[in-house]
Amino acid sequence: MSMQSTVSSNPFSIHDEKQWVITIKDTLKEVEAIENTDCLSVVSIYRVPNALRTSSPDSYTPQVVAIGPYHQWRQELCDEMQRVKIIVASKTTQKEQSLQDVVDGLKDIVPKIRACYHMFLSLEKETFAWLMAIDASFLLEFTRIHNEGKPTSAITVRSGMSHLVDDTLVRSSHNSILKDIVMLENQIPLFVLSKMLEVKLSLGPQEADGRLHQMLVGISKQLCPFKTTSDSYPCAHLLDYLYHMIVPKDEDCTPVSHNQGDDDTKAHESAKGDEDQGKESSSSGISSCLKRVLGKIPKAKDQGNETAQKEGSSSGSSSGTCEKCIFPSGNEKKKAESEDESSKKETSKEPPSRDEATIPTVTKLSEIGIIFSPTTSPDFRNSITFDPTTRKFTLPTITLDVNSEVVLRNLVAYEAAAKTSSGALILTRYAELMNGIVNTMEDVRLLQRKGIILNRMNSDEEVAKLWNGMSKSVKLTGVPELDEVIKNVNKYYNGQCKVKARRFLKAYGHGLWQTLKVLIIILAVLFFLVESICSVHKCPTKLPFNH
């Protein structure tokens, strides 16, 4: 009896035990493969947090076409587009090649591709290579057709194949596809696209990178909502390229190499002098990778949910960095203190309070004489300024169209995911700022007249809803430069006599009015009382109320 009880209490079934062992073996193989490719720290494609997704699910979930593994097997995605992708992959392959040759060319870099995804992917190497070959072919062809100004249906036109797909569907899906390919969960690494160009067009690594760069520049001109001259190539993926077009990479950041596999030898030779440091870095990378992938191993059915909840609550914690400051003596002390204070301010990640983050609307700021002006600075980070002397409030010009909300939301989501431990969330803070100053259609119209908003949406109301909707998904963040601008604007606004009088009346007006009404009633009672007394006792005629 006790034996049966012991067996029945075992949370694992025979199938679960076997699957558990298989998962561990597959995970260890993946870790070993990733370690051998020397690409431990290239995670760049993340899942969107539920806190963001619930605010606007359609902005983060592809509606027409799946690119990459995250949404590949969603049944609600259009089956017709899957057929289009396969036809495009076949069409764009040279006659002397087969699609299998392309797949074989990608198999060697599958571990490197896997390492780019934040989520563990339990796909066979063959399956993964086929998936990448088909999706990369479609993305390259769509980008080429888009840049040439041809209709989207042109990607399916081929003798003997037009009957296989519905051109009406493809033609009507252009903007939907543009939205889908910019979503954070719908990205594939750019080095995959570069490798595809090498294999398909028989190009060298540098020539393939150059061709890909030109394609990215072309499609980004329509997708990027800001006027920018920054070129962020090379980058991790299309969304990363768009992000760094707006927010340039820091000078001390090492760019992602698209031809990392080809440059491994050079990197190894240049790193010989730093062998110990490299080993330490590799060790920490392996530890990080193990935590990421082993955390995805299925648990027992009865214990899985509880364990997952515990792990989920602690996964967001991150270790801070220690800063040491050395203060020189003598004449340089003040300078050092000033630099230290500046450094602390620059690296501060504390979000502002709700009061500090609040800023009056465009309409209210215009009423006190603040002048809005489009910036002339190409640097997005320094393009938001306020000068109390001239009352000029400069903001970057932004073009809003049917794709803008999806682009902005995914840029903010990517920024939050990629900079969890370091880096200022500049776009997130900008979204908070715009949400503060834009509240109504009148605010939108004022910014349109100043050339700050170029509205290509159906109405001003849609623009106002766009910014107001962003506030539901964006948390308060601290960016020293923008915080200082908001602080100065609020200081100027709160110092105006008109604003002070308005706030005084708002705060005390109701109480003063109530007091005044009581005094009027008291005076009226006294007046009638005195008049009644005087009418009885015949008061002197000198009294003004005695007739």
Give yes or no for residue 429 having a pLDDT over 60: yes
Mean of pLDDT values over 59-71? 93
Query: How does residue 518 score in pLDDT terms, banded at 50, 70 and 90?
Result: confident
Identify which of 123-137, 240-254, 339-353, 415-429 has the greatest average pLDDT: 123-137
- What are phi and psi for residue 372, nearest 5 degrees? -90, 140
Mean of pLDDT values over 402-408? 95
Residues 6+ apart with CB under 8 A from 25: none
pLDDT at 266: 42
Query: How does residue 541 score in pLDDT terms, banded at 50, 70 and 90?
Result: low
Q: Give the strand pairing for 453-455 and 371-374.
A: unpaired
> What span, in angstroms and rounded, lies between the C-alpha atoms of 492 and 498?
12
DSSP-derived 3-state class of residue 393? strand
Residue with tokens 């606004």: 493
CA dihedral 403, 406, 409, 410 (to 10 degrees): -110
Supply 177's token pair.
């596809």
Query: Who has greater pLDDT, 28 or 244?
Result: 244
- What are phi and psi for residue 354, nearest 5 degrees? -60, -40
Give yes or no for residue 245 having a pLDDT over 50: yes
Mean of pLDDT values over 276-297? 46
Mean of pLDDT values over 500-529? 77
> What span, in angstroms and rounded, lies between the C-alpha atoms of 310 and 304?
10
Mean pLDDT of the chain: 76
pLDDT at 483: 92
Give yes or no for residue 8 having a pLDDT over 60: no
Percent share of the chain, pLDDT over 70: 65
pLDDT at 37: 58
Lowest mean pLDDT among 70-79, 121-130, 335-344: 335-344
Query: Who has greater pLDDT, 304 or 195?
Result: 195
The continuous run of DSSP H or E covering 138 comes out as helix 125-147
Three-state SS sequence of 411-461: HHHHHHHHCCCCCCCHHHHHHHHHHHHCCCHHHHHHHHHCCCEEECCCCHH
- What are phi and psi for residue 225, nearest 5 degrees? -80, -10
Q: Give the strand pairing for 385-387 and 398-400.
A: unpaired
Burial 455-494 (b: 16+ CB within 10 A, else e): bebeebebbbbbbebbeebbeebbbeebbebbeebbebbe
Give yes or no for residue 193 having a pLDDT over 60: yes
Residue 106: C-alpha distances to residues 195, 410, 415, 477 (Å): 8, 28, 29, 40
Query: How does residue 456 score in pLDDT terms, banded at 50, 70 and 90?
Result: very high
Query: How does residue 317 score in pLDDT terms, banded at 50, 70 and 90?
Result: very low
Mean of pLDDT values over 225-243? 87
Domain ranges of the chain: 14-263+278-288, 344-494, 501-547
pLDDT at 132: 95
372 in Cβ contact with 499 (< 8 Å): no
Query: How does residue 293 score in pLDDT terms, banded at 50, 70 and 90?
Result: very low
Q: Residues 146-175: pLDDT tens digits?
A: 888 766 655 654 544 444 455 555 566 788
Percent share of the chain, pLDDT over 90: 36
Give yes or no for residue 325 having a pLDDT over 70: no
Residues 6+ apart with CB under 8 A from 545: 527, 530, 531, 534
Give yes or no for residue 3 having a pLDDT over 60: no
Q: Give the strand pairing for 398-400 and 453-455.
A: parallel
pLDDT at 267: 41
> What span, in angstroms and rounded, lies between the C-alpha atoms of 367 and 446?
11
Query: Who has greater pLDDT, 196 or 81?
Result: 196
pLDDT at 23: 74
Lowest mean pLDDT among 17-31, 83-97, 329-343, 531-545: 329-343
Query: How does residue 50 score in pLDDT terms, banded at 50, 70 and 90?
Result: confident
> What span, in angstroms and rounded, lies between the C-alpha atoms of 333 and 166?
73
pLDDT at 181: 96
373 beta partners: 394
Supply 57's token pair.
């699910």
pLDDT at 95: 60
pLDDT at 236: 93
Cis peptide before 11 (omega within 30 of 0): no
Give yes or no for residue 346 having a pLDDT over 50: no
Give yes or no for residue 27 having a pLDDT over 80: no
351 in Cβ contact with 450 (< 8 Å): no
Residue 324: C-alpha distances to residues 327, 445, 498 (Å): 10, 50, 47
DSSP-derived 3-state class of residue 465? helix
pLDDT at 462: 95
Residue 38 C-beta-side C-alpha neighbours within 13 Å? 14
Lowest mean pLDDT among 205-214, 221-230, 250-259, 316-325: 316-325
pLDDT at 90: 82
Lowest mean pLDDT among 95-104, 164-173, 188-197: 164-173
Q: Residues 408-421: pLDDT tens digits?
A: 999 999 998 887 65
**Which residue, 353, 350, 348, 395, is CA-closest to 371?**
395
Amino acid present at 357 = A
